[in-house]
Chains A and B, each alone.
Chain A
Amino acid sequence: EAQVTQNPRYLITVTGKKLTVTCSQNMNHEYMSWYRQDPGLGLRQIYYSMNVEVTDKGDVPEGYKVSRKEKRNFPLILESPSPNQTSLYFCASRLDRLNTEAFFGQGTRLTVV
């Protein structure tokens, strides 16, 4: 089954404790992205990657890091989480061509206290 898998689904952590949210896709897609979703703001892109070892900042990259060492995996790293990073996070993948469908993971609800 074609899918994007994120883990964990829920995470509560304390300020400053490094964490990683994993994302994996099995569709051989070149393009992967991370978004955060906050009420009234829709989905805002954090980082994206057009292929292995190619990553770039989205609209809200501050406080986040990513890596793309393999085509299927695109982890999101928060080196020192802060309460304003409490949000719902989505990983997405798609073929690197115009007009293609984005496939989303089920989301990770992160709370930083």
Chain B
Amino acid sequence: TQLLEQSPQFLSIQEGENLTVYCNSSSVFSSLQWYRQEPGEGPVLLVTVVTGGEVKKLKRLTFQFGDARKDSSLHITAAQPGDTGLYLCAGVASGSARQLTFGSGTQLTVLP
């Protein structure tokens, strides 16, 4: 079993729709990060959330860190084809040797 569980694994939507991706764990995390990966490239950081309950916005993307620091969500408003990609959550669990653990990823496809 993975430390970070992401859902859904696949998501295909029409341009203009809203969506939410979830990242859940039974462990407490010092911080959670969201990365986006495009084919043939390594993941690239979108955001880091640090404080329980924190909400960060990046244009049409809204990231939230759960109050207990065990989960996070990514909400995209009015999705566009350029949002297509693999979204990965990652975190450093409290008490770990600064190991960055990744979730299984959500493959998002936005159709024009």
Looking at chain A's contact residues, the main secondary structure is strand
Is B42 a contact partner of A107 (Cβ separation < 8 A)? yes
Segment 81-100 of B: residues with Cβ below 8 Å from A = 88, 90, 92, 97-100
B104 within 8 A of A: yes
What 0/1 pattern do residues 24 to 43 of B give for CB contact below 8 A with A? 00000011010100001111
Is A40 a contact partner of B9 (Cβ separation < 8 A)? yes
**What is the total number of residues of chain A having a CB less than 8 Å from a CB of chain B?**
27
| Alpha-carbon distance A41/B37, docked complex (angstroms) | 14
Measured between C-beta atoms, what is the minimum distance from A101 to chain B in Å?
Answer: 4
**What is the total number of residues of chain B having a CB less than 8 Å from a CB of chain A?**
28
20 more contacts with CB within 8 A, not counting A42-B88, A101-B33, A102-B33, are A40-B9, A40-B104, A42-B4, A42-B103, A42-B104, A44-B102, A45-B99, A50-B98, A58-B99, A59-B101, A90-B42, A96-B98, A99-B31, A99-B33, A99-B92, A101-B48, A102-B35, A102-B43, A104-B43, A106-B41
Query: Which B residues fall within an 8 A CB radius of A?
Result: 2, 4, 6, 9, 30-31, 33, 35, 40-45, 48, 50, 88, 90, 92, 97-105
A-B CB contact pairs (8 Å), 26 listed: A33-B99, A33-B100, A41-B2, A42-B88, A42-B102, A42-B104, A42-B105, A43-B102, A45-B99, A45-B100, A56-B97, A90-B43, A92-B42, A96-B98, A98-B98, A99-B31, A99-B48, A101-B33, A101-B45, A101-B48, A102-B43, A102-B45, A104-B42, A104-B44, A106-B40, A107-B42
